[in-house]
Structure 1
Amino acid sequence: MTARIFTGETSYKFNVNSTSRYIIRLHFYPSNYPDYNISNSYFIVTTNSITLLKNFSAFVTAEALSQAYLIKEYSLAAFDSDSITVTFKPEKKSFGFVNGIELITEPELFDDQAGLVGVAEGSGTIDGVLSNMQNMFRLNVGGQFIPPTNDSGGLMRSWYDDTPYMFGAGTIKHIANVTIDYKDLPEATAPVDVYRTARSQGPDPNINKQSNVTWVFHVDANFTYLVRFHFCEYQLEKINQRVFEIYLNNETAFATADIIAWTGEKGVPTRKDYAVYVGDKKGDEEIWVTLHTNIDLKPEFYDVLLNGLEIFKISDSKSNLAGPNPVPSEMMQKQLIANREAYDPDAIQMKHVVGGAVGGVATMGIAFMVLFMIKKKRRGTGSNSGVTSWLPVYGHSNSRSSTSGKSQCGSSLSTDAVCNCRYFSLVEIKSATNNFDESNVIGVGGFGKVYKGVIDGNVKVAVKRSNPSSEQGVNEFITEIEMLSQLRHRHLVSLIGFCEEGNEMVLVYDYMGKGTLREHLYKGNKITLSWKQRLDLLIGAAKGLHYLHTGAKYTIIHRDVKTTNILCDDNWVAKVSDFGLSKTGPDINQNHVSTVVKGSFGYLDPEYFRRQQLTQKSDVYSFGVVLFEVLCARPALNSSLPKEQVSLADFALQSARKGTLEEMVDPHLKGTIKPEAFKKFTDCSLRCLADHGLERPTMGDVLWTLEFVLKLEPSDEGPKPETKSGSSGGGRVEFPIQSSDMIAMHLNTLNLDSDEELDDDDDDANSAAAFSQIVAPKGR
């Protein structure tokens, strides 16, 4: 969440061992940084005499690949110098940036000559020892994502699921129950989890003879690529039981691949390297990896097997590894324009321009221009533009009437949304907040400041005002109005109305007198919540989320579930808030929504983070983090703790494996939770944190479990919230236990009694302690 901005040529110098290979990883998060327009960032990155990136735009690349962040990894041969210098050089009138740099000593993993496929045998080889390479793909074939912490050799590599690269179907995944014996193979080659999973064709030999297994990868043209295959046989024990052919771009790399012939026994891994050149002919910017059973040798089983796959780009004769910025696909261009048209009719003209240029050289320039203009208007036009980033969503503000209290239906908001909400004039808003008096500020978020206000004489409200210099804007504003205008539930925060006038965008909500759930857990406040009271708040939040997933007209995925977005009213009723990032769920024919990653780090579903595929189970994962946050009274991320404890979710999973979950519990709760309730609660919480969404419960299951846990506790109400030692005031606070109707359809009522001001959330930068943000500045 930090970056170094370069407006001139800048270098980092690292002292190294001149005889070793090194891995360099560069991390880029193309967000809008203060005073810099990210779409104008183009720069060059070199290390010693090697060009790593040229005319590189992290913004364009992330948009084209539909990714929130980028990691560029390079494997560099030993230098003749005792230092490595990484230099960032912005292009003219541009700037560069980087979020993270890793430099890791790499053991000698490329000690073989890789034969060049498609040329006469022996006439072309690639020397891995002397080659500088960029990792393009690293796959755990047939298995799950392997995070850097589970990699071998301390290299901190990520191994991804191969499913997105599969061409066709009809394959079988395997998980082996076998001990992996590396023999002479360095353990750093790949972790054991790679060799314990694999993909094959299946049991029908007749089908296998007529089919193959293929993966397709898009790469840069005019480069040679080293393709590394990882094999480990764990079913068969004899030579010629499974023999298959390996093809790269329809050229034979190896015709008689027999894993047992290579290793001598099962459970012993090996790897094979081949090289292929990718030219610049149109349509050639791909690598096809194909395995086909060898029929001529008549093996006992007609089948193939592959455990892992890596693809590395080899530097060219000019020591260059830089490729061009990717061009968005035609489908993505249409989607970007469609998104733009929802908020700006002028984009319709642009669609015809792009459509007329598709297929020609002009497509690239126009596509980039479209991307830049879309991003420019969404996120602002930079520090020197002097132009507001907001777009009108409601019509012409100077034609509005401020006397009716209702708006006329506009063109960008739906009729239902506008007519179900009260329209406030800017005069009314300023009157309610005493002209946005700073003394009324009760929170600050990524969207802007939140003010305490009074309307209609005595009704207290929370007024969320846009900040024109914020990276958040019209999309979140519209989403919040569209969502909340159609939702009415006891456990969802109610939107009263909105104001969009001039350069102001304002949302008006019920005032939540008790603030956020987070501040009552570990912010040093006067109130200590008992276990039953925490359960009741969790049950309320679960009801709100369950309603979003199943009870509303359309499935709604919240996408930003966290303790600052669970608010408490004066009667301690928990309500889910902040719908600026929410998405309607997939239709009946799909199981996910493809979208760029947004959310808050610490709560973000790892499966969604990896694949940009959003599901209801993404909310379930986030709520699982909330469950542990409530149990342990500590933040989802705390960088002041030891490395293994920084992430609450990871620490909880590690503690569960070690059997030490009890040690994580908030000291105020020690001895107050019945053992069977603790086990049921933590079992449910851990299931929510499963790496794959299919293994997680539904919100309905979570809600049922929480209500069951509550019933396991004694029937008496238990101790009242206590005043923490060392604090003044306080006393007892009534905290009624709410009923357990799973899909309560009650309307929210206005909260009229609270003069309590709430403190800022110090350990979560810029997060609102008294009210939720539309978008938090952290983790977006």
Structure 2
Amino acid sequence: MKEGQHSWLSIVWFCLICNAFVLVSSQPLALNCNSKGGKDEDGRKWEPDEKYLKSSNGSTLVQAGYQDPSLLSKIPYMNARIFTSLATYEFRIKSEERYLIRFHFYPSGYSKFNISNSYFSVTAGGVTLMKNFSAEITCKALTQAYLVREYSLAPSDSKTLTITFTPSKNYTNSFAFINGIELIAMPNLFGMTGMVGLGYLKEIDVSLENLQAMFRLNVCGQTIPPSKDSGAMYRIWYNDDPYIFGSTLGICTGAPKDLKIDYGKSLRSTAPEDVYRTARSMGEDAGLNTKFNLTWIFQVDANFIYVVRFHFCEFVYDSPNQRAFNVYINNKSAQVAPHPVDLIDWTRKKGAPIYKDYAVHVADGPGDAMILIQMTPATEMKTQFHDSLLNGVEIFKLNDGNKNLAGRNPHPSSMLLKAVTEQERSFDTKSDNNNAVIAGAAAAFVLVALTVLASRKRKQEAGVEAHTSSWLPVRGNSHSNESKDGKSHNSHALALAQGLSRHFFISEIRQSTKNFDDSNVIGVGGFGNVYKGVIDGGTKVAIKRSNPTSEQGINEFQTEVDMLSKLRHKHLVSLIGFCEDGGEMCLVYDYMALGTLREHLYSNEEAHLSWKQRLEICIGAARGLHYLHTGAKYTIIHRDVKTTNILLDEKWVAKVSDFGLSKTGPEMNQGHVSTVVKGSFGYLDPEYFRRQQLTEKSDVYSFGVVLFEALCARPALNPKLPKEQVSLADWARHCHKKGTLEEIIDPHLKGKIKPECLKIFADTAVKCLSDQGIQRPHMGDVLWNLEFALQMHGTTEASTEAE
């Protein structure tokens, strides 16, 4: 071979090696564990993980037996690799490059492996990311089906990154598992950051730290999927609604369509443009804005330092000192007058994104560790407008001195499953008040109460009058709620609730509903008419207006506001706010585009729900009811469970609604509460009717009727039928006992339900309808059986049902 040819070939081989190196180290890498790879729902390509797996003597390849409805894509979640001993992945990387690592976990049923035994640790590049970690416990606590953990590793001198999975030795038969891994080279978006409360007396060089991404929010905007993220980092930016609290939620605003977002010298990879096109502000009422804060609350791990990154973009004003505001983190000054946030002063033009980082230490203490963000107008600056604004927020946890990022598993509270037998499980309904309540309404309520108190204290110290407005007297035909001086005796609980929900004026409600135009009526109930409305320039809502002649309406109004103000759950209808103004009582909810379950069961002749849809809706409703029974500080009994109170959003997600008759309180923890019988005929618990003692099993009985309605597609009561068939509960139990149940199921379902699935479902419904409450299952048992029924259906879905 000639010398020139040899040199040329050497160059070619060198280039090929370099290109291969770049593919591994620079291009985003997505591994679908135990799979040949493929594309997810966003069209992103995932490849097999085998060639990166270096040590895996105890590796087992498994598939999930059930696809949860909330999974957005089968890839990477429906395949998993299980490790019963230490296992390592090895990746070639570029030295001095920062890398983003993302882990995907779906704690489902995997053949012979009991997911409850899965406890393991994960290290990467010598950093402990997880320790004795349980994906199942974490998902249950967050009421999620799957989990994504994201980390950003600081640059190092190494050209190899090793990720190690180690099953915990503290638990019997423990194993590790993983569904998907992402490895992405990312720009170093961090620098020097000052500690909140210490100014710049103490600074941290975050560019040298290992981080865990805890929260990433697109404030007042829609969730931004990975495919629309900037910088090819495939991040998800979630909506901030679950985290916003305070005396008002503020208003959502959007940038003009013709406004160009000008990044200037800022990196586009910091955040996508859509983050900067929406924002949450306080509104146009300057007087009101000086009396409350925009407040967000985040639950975090104690004993770590966190970096809170605020994303700002002013798209309304164009001059300095038009809008300036103070920022507080955990009641410490982050950016306050005389140097408040003044975006135009900072950027010198409209439509220019900017972000600011602040570090805060979160110590251990009573209750849940949290990060509290508050914003309030900087009135000292005598600005033209008194307002605050936020476009996006990210929160990162920094590793401690031992290169550790691992937090503790959420406490295994009453939300978690306890295995009893292979086919029967129950939920522990006893909660320890000394334990942290994970994702519970009580925790949110306590945090908000602390927020309000801290806010008032800070404002008083700053010389600002604290906002302590209370409710106006409840109006109507009843005078029992007012004293002679016109003050409300029952305003305490409602005033407290005002700190948790938005307070609408009647003028806003009338404008939203076109002055309660009959064409906007979408429902009628015992409380009054329900209207479709539009608020904040385009957000659809459902507005329930009290019938002024209803004596019961006052009590239902108070119960609904007090109850739903404290509750946030995927399967409960969210209360946006209320109006007690101008002699009117109105409740404002999220708009449920697809209406009630009842409408789709036997009031809609054009389309019929498939069996899978009915199962998923029943599971969603069961989750909501189980949360009421066990997830809050005190047991909450709905007392009016029926198909008209199970609503469906545009994605067919079921949400329990109408809490006007609900009961709660410490007396529930004694097993029952004596109360007047209320509810809907056909759904009433016969034991409750006889003894007037309400228990959580009363809801279970009503839900049993709902289950048979879903199966048979007929009302709970039908007087037109023969006497023995009038009550669906009685007739269904009779047919089940005689073995003729298949004769009364919805004709549209016949031949489309596998016998094993039908048996599980029917047996569960019959147990719910037991005469004595003690013989009925807990809602946790019901939920598990329904999920098992859906799993059985899913195994033969293709052959039994055309979806």
TM-score, with structure 1 as normaliser: 0.49
* Bigger relative contact order (CA 8 A; separation at least 6): 1
TM-score, with structure 2 as normaliser: 0.47
